[in-house]
Amino acid sequence: MTASAKLRFTISMSLDGFVAGPIESVGNPLGIGGERLHDWVVPLAAWRAPHGYEGGEVNESTPVFEESLANVGATLMGRGMFGGAPGPWNANHPWNGWWGDNPPFHHPVFVLTHHTREPLALEGGTTFTFVTNGIEEALELAMTAAGGKDVALLGGASAAQQYLVADLVDEMEISLVPTLLGGGKRLFDSVGANLHGLDLVRTIATPKVTHFKFARHGRD
């Protein structure tokens, strides 16, 4: 990886610390109530355009969302966020992610999994590569693929916890939504009693969400 490329983790979290609600399923991938975590981003024009919709809002969250997309050359995510049934991939009924034939990434995406699978090339430049040798190899592959740009880590909780505990996260943007989910996946669970070298560097408060940006000591 180049000296200046960063691993940037962005996620939305409820006031009670959940990044997905209880009882996740194919029909309800964010768990019960979990879609409330995205109520701030889905109305944004900046979110709607890359997802193929016209119109939308411009507000104080717009620059935060735009920043999360800027200068990103590759994406990392856990198997849960990619989706599909747990266990080995089913070659007869392949799961190709939540995002349809033309996912909004348009760059290489690396999925942490325990089960090998051939890379999956979809339209628009998105290729999913399945990595079974752990978080460090996945990060190396993603940094190489990003070609000097940053790598986005999207979650879920388990993948994020592993990168945080390994002190590999360079920036973290927590979008805190003032709601309670009452259960589900907690982001800050078993990650210890410190922020793993990260400091709060910016807070943007809006009625729907508060964005907390953390950055590593000594990095810009």
18: tokens are 């959940």
Residues 51, 128: Cα–Cα separation, whole Å: 18
- 70/180 with CB nearer a second copy: 180
- 45/204 with CB nearer a second copy: 204
Binder of a second copy out of 33, 80, 103, 156 (CB under 8 A): 33
Q: Does 65 bind a second copy (CB under 8 A)?
A: no
- 120/160 with CB nearer a second copy: 160
Which residues within the stretch 165-204 sit at the binding site for a second copy (CB under 8 A)? 174, 176, 178-183, 186, 188-189, 191-195, 200, 203-204
Q: Does 28 bind a second copy (CB under 8 A)?
A: no
Q: Contact letters (x/-) for a second copy, 35-54, by CB under 8 A?
A: --------------------
Binder of a second copy out of 49, 58, 205, 219 (CB under 8 A): 205
- 99/188 with CB nearer a second copy: 188
Query: Residue numbers of the site for a second copy (CB under 8 A)?
Result: 15-17, 21, 32-33, 174, 176, 178-183, 186, 188-189, 191-195, 200, 203-207, 210, 212, 214
